[in-house]
């Protein structure tokens, strides 16, 4: 590959008026597809191809095959039974077939008049009326055949395939595709970018279709390598930009570390080895002037809240404030209850307190809490999105802890970081109970330091998981009665489908009523769902925690954070509707005490007695393993990174071409090259990131 003597000129957006002003319908459709710059068109690759490079004889085509023939129209008529349609008979000299069109125009009727010779391409079907092509493409016969396969692009209403092909061809021709890789850096056997893109838009007809479909062709390898390199470069740029920022130094040695020491002394359990190791990693970060940007991941029940509390204690020891933000009020309340129990008495001795902020608070209470935050009296602030409200001002925020970080978008994280005083950045600790598979961490979380709690506290009992078909529901109710007879408690989780929330609410209510009737008067059966007032939700949870309710029927509002050690059985109804990581999170609500625990996945087969392939894979994984890291790996395989990360809350642009399950070697190449390229070829690195990510690279800076 030739050396790049200088950086290529930056790709500029095609000249266009202000968004939505004076644009044609085609331009508006192209914008919806994200096609703005010439390079966007060049990188908009076909989803499949059609072979229009050769004409074959009808007699040589088998039923079910797609083929292109040249034939003479022998009959053409508009019929009205069973519906209006254009029926055309053609003969190519070797055989005959019938063409049928349910949607057609007068121009097509003229194109298909008797005696006209046409080139027709479509799928040939057999049948009692003879061989047929439904809605084939039709062109005039005798025109020159293309030399390459014809690309078929994903499109939207109002943007016809021929128009999109024309626009992509023009954009590809205009795009600046100068080399951005250093001369000694290309992956082994990789093509240059221009050759790779021209080939992938217009492959030669003799190419192996398998290598195009599985993306193993050298042209695909070059695109995947470039894409992974752009992602690694942008992540590394974000990490280096953060390294230039400054954060408060929270040095345990300088502060005396008394609150941290006292908190360790009052905890009713000993820390696991993993918690101790991660605590040291976090303490080391907090003692530096560089902003910590760390992801704390651990399986359900691995003790992340304790690690967060100890980090908060280090922050408060140094004379600063700590904020903990959770996605739901139930989860925030769970943290609040634990941390208040541990820290409030210790803080009170120092004239400090824990503040609580949620959107459902009455104005007077919220104002009181906000005043405590602004004065610095509230050393630890726990809440939901209300923590980042404009009205909440911190005196000296130094540590921000975000639980279930994938549920918060970039804007929320930026708002929390903006609460620090002066020019300093707060240290950021993000927690996730969904373990991140290694390749995903290497790719989407490359700008983070990752700490892993890979050890469960002693006393956690293994959870037995059983798959049970819906028709055995009575057996499940018998199992519940057996657990209740032993003094245990039970969760029953109902699915929530967004399109039909009212129906789901009725289903949950009906399930509560059904269980109350089946279990008898002596059993308290509660109902919990997201549309209940906060005070009512808290009252239900308190009753369940205190064992005044023995069975809790709930939607997925209990997915995270709820901790009731006496609950030993969970039933998940319509388990086939849930995602794999969600099922694992729900299962983690039991097995939190000494009693043997079980999770019953109640699934409803379709009329054929089966469930869908993806649902079957999820249920099988749940039955086979309780390891959160193995669950996460399988979840990534089943759903791919886009869905695994969930609506891209982390903000990082998704990979379009590379596959993290198969392209590990290319990812390793990109990780090795990125720092060398930034150090030695910064202009090439900037051009490479701009080419692939454009403005999307800004997301990575959060």
- Tens digit of each residue's pLDDT (9 = 90 or more) over 176-206: 999 999 988 877 667 899 999 999 999 999 9
Which of 370, 369, 315, 366 shows the shortest CA–CA distance to 343?
Answer: 315
Per-residue model confidence as pLDDT tens digits over 79-135: 987 889 999 999 999 999 999 999 888 889 999 999 999 999 999 998 788 899 999
- C-alpha 117/C-alpha 139 separation (Å) is 9
Mean pLDDT computed over 11-27: 60
* Mean pLDDT along residues 454-468: 82
DSSP state of 429: E
Distance between CA atoms of 334 and 336, rounded to whole angstroms?
5
Per-residue pLDDT, averaged over 372-380, amounts to 92
- In this prediction, residue 557 carries a pLDDT of 66
Structural domains of the chain ordered from first start = 1-53+148-181 (no CATH), 54-140 (2.40.50.140), 252-453 (3.40.50.300), 463-645 (3.40.50.300)
Predicted confidence at residue 697, as pLDDT, reads 54
Query: What single-letter DSSP state applies at residue 394?
Result: -
Q: CA 583, CA 602: separation in Å to the nearest integer?
A: 12
Q: How far apart are CA 525 and CA 553, in angstroms?
A: 7
Find where tokens 């939505």 sit: 20
pLDDT digits (tens, 9 = 90+) for 321-350: 999 888 777 777 776 777 788 888 999 999
What residues contact 41, with CB distance under 8 A and at least 6 apart?
35, 167, 168, 170, 171, 172, 175
In a 3-state reduction of DSSP, which class is residue 77? strand
CA torsion, ordered 379, 361, 512, 568, to nearest 10 deg: 0
C-alpha torsion sign, points 602, 604, 610, 612: negative
The residue whose two tokens read 């979840």 is 635
Round to whole Å and give the CA distance between 207 and 223.
18
pLDDT number for residue 649 = 44
DSSP 8-state symbol, 648? T
Q: Shortest CA distance to 45 belongs to which of 229, 169, 145, 158?
A: 169
pLDDT of 332? 75
- Over residues 608-633, mean pLDDT: 81
pLDDT digit string, tens, across residues 257-281: 689 999 999 988 889 999 999 999 9
pLDDT 10s digits, 305-319: 899 999 999 999 999
Please provide residue 306's backbone torsions phi and psi, each rounded to the nearest 5 degrees. -65, -45
What DSSP character marks residue 665? H
**Comparison of pLDDT for 387 and 658, the residue scoring more:** 658
Share of residues in the chain with pLDDT > 70 (%): 86
Q: What is the pLDDT of residue 375?
A: 92
Question: Per-residue pLDDT for 3 more than 50?
Answer: no
How confident is residue 254, by pLDDT bands cut at 50, 70 and 90? low
CA dist., res. 263 & res. 261, Å (int): 5
- The pLDDT tens digits for 535-577 are 888 888 889 988 999 999 988 766 544 678 888 999 999 898 8
For 423-436, the pLDDT digits (tens) are: 788 898 988 877 77
Residue 313 has what pLDDT? 93
Among 308-317, 353-362, 539-548, 599-608, the minimum mean pLDDT is found in: 599-608
Residue 564 contacts by C-beta under 8 Å, 6 or more apart in sequence? 489, 544, 545, 589, 592
Cis link prior to 82 (omega < 30° from 0)?
A: yes
CA separation for the pair 32, 104 (Å, rounded): 28
Report the alpha-carbon distance of residue 540 to residue 547 in Å, rounded.
11
- Structure tokens belonging to residue 101: 């069109």
pLDDT of residue 132: 95
Give the whole-angstrom CA distance, residue 321 versus residue 654: 35
- pLDDT score recorded for residue 530: 74
Assess whether pLDDT exceeds 50 at residue 702: no
Share of the chain above pLDDT 90, in %: 44
- How high is the pLDDT of residue 413? 61
In sequence order, the β-bridge partners of residue 603 are 469
Tell me, what's the pLDDT at 53?
A: 93
Q: Are 680 and 182 in contact (CB under 8 A)?
A: yes
Whole-Å CA distances, 16 to 28, 169, 301, 549 = 11, 19, 54, 63
pLDDT in tens, 83-94: 899 999 999 999
The per-residue pLDDT for 591 is: 79
Kindly report, residue by residue over 485-519, the tens digit of the pLDDT.
Answer: 999 999 999 876 444 555 555 678 888 899 999 99
Query: Residues 644-667: what's their mean pLDDT?
Result: 70
Per-residue pLDDT, 22: 65
The residues, ordered by sequence, that sit 6+ positions from 65 with a Cβ below 8 Å of its Cβ are 123, 124
Interval 660-700: pLDDT, tens: 878 889 999 999 999 999 999 999 999 999 999 886 655 44
HSE-CB at 223 with a 13 A cutoff on CA atoms is: 24
Q: What is the 3-state secondary structure (H, E, C) of 493-519?
A: ECCCCHHHHHHHHHHHHHHHHHHHHHH
pLDDT category of residue 637 using cuts at 50, 70 and 90? confident
Strand partners, 400: 323, 428
pLDDT tens readout for residues 32-88: 998 999 999 999 999 999 999 999 999 999 999 999 999 999 999 999 878 899 999
DSSP state of 446: T
């Amino acid at each position: 590959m030739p050396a790049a003597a200088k950086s290529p000129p930056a790709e500029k957006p095609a000249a266009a008026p202000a968004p939505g002003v004076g644009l044609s319908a085609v331009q508006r459709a192209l914008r919806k597809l994200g096609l703005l710059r010439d390079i966007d068109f060049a990188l908009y690759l076909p989803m499949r191809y059609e072979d229009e490079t050769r004409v074959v004889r009808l007699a040589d085509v088998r039923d079910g095959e797609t083929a292109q023939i040249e034939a003479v129209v022998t009959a053409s008529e508009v019929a009205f039974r069973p519906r209006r349609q254009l029926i055309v008979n053609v003969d190519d000299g070797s055989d005959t077939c019938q063409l049928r069109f349910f949607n057609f125009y007068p121009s097509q009727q003229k194109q298909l008049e008797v005696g006209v010779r046409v080139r027709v391409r479509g799928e040939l079907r057999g049948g009692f009326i003879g061989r047929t092509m439904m809605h084939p493409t039709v062109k005039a016969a005798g025109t020159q055949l293309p030399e390459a396969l014809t690309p078929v692009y994903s499109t939207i209403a109002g943007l016809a395939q021929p128009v999109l092909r024309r626009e992509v061809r023009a954009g590809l021709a205009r795009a600046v595709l100068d080399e951005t890789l250093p001369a000694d850096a290309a992956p082994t056997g990789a093509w240059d970018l221009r050759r790779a893109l021209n080939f992938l838009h217009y492959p030669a007809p003799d190419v192996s279709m398998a290598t195009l479909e599985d993306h193993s062709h050298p042209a695909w390898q070059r695109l995947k390598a470039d894409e992974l390199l752009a992602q690694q470069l942008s992540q590394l740029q974000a990490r280096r930009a953060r390294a230039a920022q400054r954060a408060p130094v929270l040095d345990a040695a300088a502060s005396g570390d008394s609150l941290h020491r006292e908190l360790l002394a009052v905890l009713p359990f000993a820390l696991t080895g993993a918690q101790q190791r991660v605590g040291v990693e976090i303490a080391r970060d907090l003692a530096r002037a560089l902003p910590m940007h760390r992801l704390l991941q651990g399986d359900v029940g691995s003790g992340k809240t304790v690690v967060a509390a100890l980090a908060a204690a280090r922050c408060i020891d140094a004379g600063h404030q700590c904020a903990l933000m959770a996605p739901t009020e139930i989860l925030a309340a769970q943290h609040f209850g634990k941390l208040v129990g541990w820290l409030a008495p210790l803080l009170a001795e120092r004239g400090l307190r824990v503040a609580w902020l949620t959107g459902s608070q009455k104005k007077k209470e919220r104002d009181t809490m906000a005043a405590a935050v602004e004065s610095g009296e509230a050393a630890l602030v726990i809440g939901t999105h209300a923590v980042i409200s404009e009205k909440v001002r911190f005196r000296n925020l130094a540590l921000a802890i975000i639980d279930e970080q994938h549920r918060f978008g970039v804007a929320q994280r930026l708002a929390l970081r903006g609460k620090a005083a002066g020019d300093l950045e707060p240290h950021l600790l993000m927690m996730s109970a969904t373990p991140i598979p290694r390749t995903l961490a290497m790719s989407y979380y490359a700008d983070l330091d990752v700490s892993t709690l890979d050890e469960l506290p002693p006393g956690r009992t293994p959870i037995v998981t059983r798959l049970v078909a819906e028709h055995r529901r009575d057996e499940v109710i018998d199992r519940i009665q057996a657990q209740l007879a032993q003094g245990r408690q039970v969760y029953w989780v109902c699915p929530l489908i967004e399109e039909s929330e009212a129906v789901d609410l009725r289903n949950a209510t009906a399930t509560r009523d059904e269980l109350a009737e089946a279990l008898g008067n002596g059993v308290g059966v509660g109902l919990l769902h997201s549309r209940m007032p906060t005070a009512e939700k808290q009252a239900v949870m308190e009753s369940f925690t205190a064992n005044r309710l023995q069975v809790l029927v709930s939607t997925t509002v209990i997915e995270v954070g709820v901790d009731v050690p006496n609950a030993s059985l969970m039933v998940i109804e319509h388990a086939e509707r849930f995602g794999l990581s969600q099922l694992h999170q729900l299962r983690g609500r039991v097995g939190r005490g000494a009693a043997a625990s079980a999770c019953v996945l109640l699934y409803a087969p379709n009329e054929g007695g089966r469930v869908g392939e993806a649902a079957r894979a999820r249920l099988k994984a749940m039955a086979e393993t309780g390891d959160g890291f193995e669950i996460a790996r399988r979840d990534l395989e089943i759903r791919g990174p886009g869905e695994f990360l969930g609506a891209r809350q982390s903000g990082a642009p998704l990979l379009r071409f590379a596959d993290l399950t198969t392209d590990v070697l290319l990812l390793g190449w990109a990780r090795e090259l990125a720092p060398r390229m930034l150090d030695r070829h910064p202009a090439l690195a900037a051009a490479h990131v701009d080419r692939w990510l454009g403005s999307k690279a800004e997301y990575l800076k959060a």
